[in-house]
Amino acid sequence: MAFRVAILGCGTVGGGVACILLEQRESLRVKAGDEIELATVVDLFPAQAAERHGVPRDLFAGDGDELTPDEANAEVDRVLADDSIDLVVETIGGSGEGIVRITRSALESGKHLVTANKALLALHGEELHAAARAAGKSIGYEASVTAAIPIIRGLTDGLTGEDIQSISGIFNGTSNFILSQMASEGQSFEDALADAQARGYAEADPTLDINGGDAGHKLTILLRLVFGLDVAYADLPRQGIDTVTAGEVDFANEMGGVIKLICFGQREGDAVYATVRPMIVKRGNLLSKIDGATNAVRIVGRYAGENVMIGQGAGSLETGSAIVSDIVFLARYGGHPMPERPTSGLKLRPLGELELPYNIVFETADVPGITGIVATAIGKQDINIDSVSHNRHGSDNAEFAIATMPCTRTQIDRAVADIQENHPGSLLSEPRVLPILV
């Protein structure tokens, strides 16, 4: 008897899943040990989706070229009530009440769930995993973090014997493309964003990509999986790339690094220090070489050391392939629900408490001795200086950067306060501080 799959939503990702299931039907049968049958597809625009993805129209629910929302909801309810459906693929998107109801109901009706919906899992993952446990079913979410990179299976299967110390990476292709263009082509942020939109890397509304929200959804999922951290998405510190200046990009290059939007989590004792924010990545770190819309994940373990996985973080067939890998796994092993990482009791702590090297860009009055004044204030806080950049002189101001050895952000803030108190007017703006990832 075939393992029957229903796809809810046949846009870019859902269409990719349907194509792979149909094109690779015989190969997937061998890999799964059972035939995987695409039973039905529900989409608001079935005729358009069928033509776009080359999927037979008779696989789509409904008779007309389009479905009204009420008709689509009725078709979804039929899928949920159909006991012959073994697994539901959710590629509708969103994280509102409607999609939570659909996905929870799929599990409660005795079906496995596979999704690429990182916002849904970041905001409602605990609720859905509880529903899966109660039903004895599994949630496959390989595609939710970095699409084609098999990071979820790599962590749950390949590194089960590892004691993971830290995880860092580039989880958003849009922001990485923008920062790559700023570094390699000298583009401003605004021009690089427009370029990303023209090439299809950025949406018309790129807010979640450039403000760290999309990457934050993905990091939230991994922090729970890797560290068993009971973390809410809203509590994860996030800073986007829209404040990165050409000057900071230039200073990063002089200091032997490049600026990347980094998802970062590091365990120290009973604490996990985590954030999404721009960092300077030193050239010796492989993440510094990840350009364009590519994604990468760097895992450092106690025993295995460093592992880096690189691949495409978006795309129809790229994301579809990750979803199909979950379908095959569940078709083969679905009688044994996927293991989950229990809550560990570790606590999320502010990144500023962790000792890291930092790069600090100062804009000062262009007066003799200002570099010495700043360096002295930094030294008074027991911060060792690694290097000092060349000064960039304006008409009446100067900019320079100081890279520190590992220290806390609190020490840096005290140094800045010392300068402002003892040399008022010497700092023309708030110093721009970026952690350095070595």
Q: Which residues are catalytic?
A: 218
d(CA 375, CA 378): 5
| Alpha helix ranges (H) inside 60-172 | 69-81, 97-108, 118-135, 143-146, 151-153
Encoded tokens for 178: 């923008």
What single DSSP character describes residue 352? G
Rounded alpha-carbon distances, angstroms, from residue 316 to 91, 143, 147, 219, 322: 11, 11, 10, 22, 10
Q: Evaluate whether 258 touches 359 at the Cβ level (below 8 Å).
A: no
* Residue 426: alpha-carbon gap to chain centroid: 39
Residues in the chain: 438
d(CA 263, CA 434): 14
Q: What are phi and psi of 35, to 5 degrees?
A: -70, 135
Sign of the alpha-carbon torsion through 208, 212, 213, 214: positive
Nearest Cα residue to 433 out of 237, 220, 259, 268: 259
Determine which helix (DSSP H) or strand (DSSP E) holds 318, and give its type and residue range: helix 316-333
